[in-house]
Amino acid sequence: MECLIGIRGKDFVLMAGDSVAGRSVVAMKKDHDKMYQLSNRLLMAACGEGGDTVQFAEYIAKNIQLYRMRNGYDLSTKAAASFTRRNLADYLRSSTPYFVNLLIGGYDDSDGADLYYMDYLGSMVKLPFGVHGYGSFFVLSVMDRYYKEDMTRDEALVLLQRCIDEIHERFIINLNSFKVKIVDKEGIHVMKDLRPTTKQPEETPGTQSMDIV
Amino acid sequence: MSALAYNGGSTIVMTGKNSVVLACDMRLGTNLLTVSNDFGKVFRLSSRCFVCLSGLVTDIQTVYGLLRRCANLFVLKEGREIGPSEATHALSALLYQRRFSPYFVEPVVAGLENWSGVEDGMSVPFVASLDLIGCISTSSNFAVSGTSSHNLFGMSEALWVENMTADELFETTAACLLNAVNRDAFSGWGALVTTVTEAQVRTRRIKARQD
């Protein structure tokens, strides 16, 4: 019932994830952050099986940091995504597969901003915008209509707000708060949480008569 | 749903007088949802040896990685690039190693056999298809794989003739692929066609029906 959204702009990647942490029919936490910092300019959003998300995300983050310590420089987004894919694919046919869907967004000087979409099987693809979860059925069409190459940060946030409004309008599960982060040359910036735009309820004229005239 | 049909995708290879043409669709999906319209399924192993992989995308990416490793080591050990028949046998061994927990891919290997690096007219077009556990099936005309393989068989059988030139072969292969995938819900969203001749390798993108 989770939703992750990633949008690649001109020189940044905008990532958002719903902030509900739940089990079965209960919402246990309403301000949960599903995005994990892999390095200064690498962000990973993870959704899926409860423990797997945190375990796998932290495992990858620590390994990315280890590379940094050993070699003195950060892994590129593509390399980090490939490393993550290799781990997911290797574990898939082991006795302990990870059921985690990921979006990896990052910035490096050679390739600029990149967004990688990865599902729990380990299929990886570079995309201009990617969505995980049931929300994808509603949001991808909105993206197809309004997304354009080289968007500015403001335009991307407007697009993201549209997506969140659409989920609120049509998705049966109430996801009324999204954590939002932007990755760019300067690093990872935490933005304000986004909520669906509340529409003013229409004025209903007093009590209406139900008499059959 | 079958693992081979989960992500969708189709590929076709045809041989001509002294060229091969490989084509694939560009869709990557998750069951009924299309995730990407930019996922090519033709991969290069050497300057005149290519492999088309259709099936489960995670295994496509894994198998391509293993094949690439094999092809690169071949260059270092043998001092020359890998040929298509050699790549086919290497791939067969690789797949059979996982006989009881297979990689869900249906590869088609194609290229110019005996390519010596010069345009001497000595190289022979080669195409072979394999199943997911590595059974090799060498063909003299064409090979197909993917979710619309039945459609592709029909189209290819109808349109293929012997001794086509590179340009004729390009048109024929593209026509076969486009018409076959238009009848398949799990393939489509454009096509990538690679023409391999002694002189050059040319890749063209076709914008087809976007549905």
Residue A194 is classified by DSSP as: B
Q: Does A79 touch chain B (CB under 8 A)?
A: no
Supply the DSSP string of B44-111, one letter for each residue.
EEETTEEEEEEE-HHHHHHHHHHHHHHHHHHHHHHSSPPPHHHHHHHHHHHHHTTTTS---EEEEEEE
Regions of chain B short of the pLDDT cut 70: none
Least CB–CB distance from B33: residue in A124, A127, A137: A137
pLDDT on residue B118? 87
pLDDT on residue B20? 97
- Integer Cα distance of A64 and A79 in angstroms: 10
- Integer Cα distance of B33 and B13 in angstroms: 27
pLDDT tens for A114-131 read 999 999 999 999 999 999
Nearest CA in chain B to A124: B58
pLDDT tens for B11-35 read 999 999 999 999 999 999 999 999 9
Distance (Å) from the alpha carbon of B58 to chain A's nearest alpha carbon:
4
Distance between alpha carbon B49 and the CA centroid of its chain, in Å?
Answer: 10
Which of A116, A123, A137 to mutate: most B Cβ within 10 Å? A123
Are B171 and B191 a contacting pair, CB within 8 Å? no
The percentage of chain B sitting over the pLDDT mark of 90, rounded to a whole number, equals: 96
For this complex, say whether ipTM is above 0.90: yes
Q: What string of pLDDT tens digits covers the 213 residues of chain A? A: 899 999 999 999 999 999 999 988 999 999 999 999 999 999 999 999 989 999 999 999 999 999 999 999 999 999 999 999 999 999 999 999 999 999 999 999 999 999 999 999 999 999 999 999 999 999 999 999 999 999 999 999 999 999 999 999 999 999 999 999 999 999 999 999 999 997 776 777 677 778 887
Which of B41, B58, B69, B105 to mutate: most A Cβ within 10 Å? B58
pLDDT on residue B119? 87
Q: Does A140 touch chain B (CB under 8 A)?
A: yes
Q: Does B138 touch chain A (CB under 8 A)?
A: no
- Integer Cα distance of A66 and A63 in angstroms: 5
Alpha-carbon Rg of chain A, whole angstroms? Answer: 19
- Integer Cα distance of A46 and B79 in angstroms: 44
- Integer Cα distance of B56 and B38 in angstroms: 16
- Integer Cα distance of B173 and B166 in angstroms: 10
Are A17 and A5 a contacting pair, CB within 8 Å? yes
pLDDT on residue B120? 87
Distance (Å) from the alpha carbon of B205 to chain A's nearest alpha carbon:
18
Distance (Å) from the alpha carbon of A23 to chain B's nearest alpha carbon:
24
